Amino acid sequence: MKKYARIVNEETKECSVGLGKNVNFYKSVGLQEMDVELSYDGRWYVLGFAPEKPESTYAEKRLNQYPHIADQLDMIYWDKMNGTNLWQEKISEIKSKYPKN
């Protein structure tokens, strides 16, 4: 997308971008109209230079799959009351799906 920007890092092509509509101001501080893109980390880059989001680690993947701790405690309680092992099965399923490397 076209924005008024200035490259702040020649190696990575990271940019400082004007996000408003005051074109005259942006020109007065040395920004030029160029194609830029917003990266996954919230930084702006010249189009085509934004880094790709790194793949999540197994720990991050697991963390996103585990039920909330309050829900886990509730599962453990009901497992004890009902003689089931649903909590253990759920946690084992997640650990199997995302093993340690």
What pLDDT digit, counting tens, does each position of 38-88 carry?
A: 999 999 999 999 999 999 998 899 999 999 999 999 999 999 999 999 999
Q: Are 39 and 62 part of one and the same domain? A: no
Number of alpha carbons in the 13 Å side-chain half-sphere of residue 32? 6
Domain assignment present for residue 72? The answer is yes
Q: What's the total number of domains in the chain?
A: 2
In a domain, 51, yes or no: no
Q: Which of 4, 3, 23, 5 is nearest to 15 (CA)?
A: 5
* Statement to judge: residues 88 and 67 lie in one domain: yes
Question: Does 35 share its domain with 63?
Answer: no
pLDDT of residue 91: 96
Predicted structure pTM score: 0.63
Domain contains 52:
no
Convert the pLDDT of each residue in 27-48 to its tens digit.
999 999 999 999 999 999 999 9
For the purposes of burial, counting CB atoms within 10 Å of the CB of 64, is it exposed (0-12), middle (13-18) or buried (19 or more)? exposed
- Same domain, residue pair 62 and 37: no
* Bridge partners (DSSP) listed for residue 4: 18, 33
Structural domain containing residue 10: 2-46
Residues 27 and 62 in one domain: no
